[in-house]
Amino acid sequence: MRLDQYLATSTELSRKDAKKVITKGRVRVDCVPARSANMQVADNTLVELDGSQLHLPGDIYLMMNKPDGVISATTDSSQPTAVDLLPSQLASKVHIAGRLDKDTTGLLLLTSNGQWSHQVTSPRRDCPKTYQIQLVEPLSTEAKVKLETGVVLKDEDKPTLPATVAICAETTIELTINEGRYHQVKRMLAAVGNHVAGLHRLRIGAITLDPALAPGEYRELTEDEIRSIFGPT
């Protein structure tokens, strides 16, 4: 569809005002400022107004409180998946934006919008993820400093980016990381000589797991939550 039509469909702007914001250079298409209202954009094109991504009505954005024991996949022939917990009319349309291990619980985002999920998972986007961690042993001051500075994970060369650590109880911490390496949290704690006994994701960017959601339950994201994923490029 035409760019001005895309804007009029995805915002409160009239077609005329859509043309004006395009002319003013406030709209970017696939990260490039757009100047022409009649350029064609596909449904999955990245269109931003003032740095916030727009989405057409009809896209699906969900948060789920992932229970223990289900895998982060759309389908699997032998194991239950998080997507299996959704009604079939949603399950057939969404994919997972940022996987969790089978034994990790908490905030899982699911969407039909591939551009949006890319923002959640892209290493080039600084989308922090906060985990509550039950540790086998209390975290030493030395280990805390190491996590906050960056640790080298087993079989890797490059240290992790500095993380934020909050001590909540003797063996409970909250760790915020800005990357998504394989089993990153468990490997970070192993790298400082500790061990994760329980892992629960609390937050992705500004999206916090809704405390009203019991394990396995889901809800739609609010407009603010959807938009919060897109910072300035």
The residues in 154-213 that bind ligand URA, with binding defined as CB under 6 A, are: 183-186, 199
Q: Alpha-carbon distance 4 to 30, whole Å?
A: 15
Cβ closest to ligand URA, residue 19 vs residue 146: 146
What is d(CA 138, CA 28) in angstroms, rounded to the nearest whole number?
Answer: 48
DSSP 55-115: --BTB-EEEEEEPTT-BSSS--SSS-BSGGGS-HHHHTT-EEES---TT-EEEEEEES-HH
CB of 227 to ligand URA, least distance (A): 24
Closest CB to ligand URA among residues 13, 192: 192
- Distance CA(21)–CA(34), nearest Å, equals 10
- Give the one residue of 46, 83, 100, 108 binding ligand URA; rule: CB under 6 A: 100
Token representation of residue 139:
């975290």
From 17, 68, 101, 210, the catalytic residue: 101
Count of residues near ligand URA by CB under 6 A: 8
Smaller CB separation from ligand URA, 28 or 181: 181
> Does 155 participate in catalysis according to the annotation?
no
Paired residues of 208 in beta bridges: 203
Least distance in angstroms from the C-beta of 171 to ligand URA: 17
Strands of the 52-53 sheet, one edge to the other: 32-33, 27-29, 47-49, 52-53
The least CB distance from residue 197 to ligand URA, in Å, is 12
Give me the least distance between CB of 89 and ligand URA, in Å please.
28
Cβ proximity to ligand URA, 146 vs 186, nearer residue:
186
Residues 107, 130: Cα–Cα separation, whole Å:
10
- Chain-centroid distance of CA 70 in Å reads 18
Which position among 53, 65, 104, 113 is part of the footprint of ligand URA (CB under 6 A)? 104
- Residues found near ligand URA in the complex (CB under 6 A): 100-101, 104, 183-186, 199
Q: Which amino acids are annotated catalytic?
A: 101
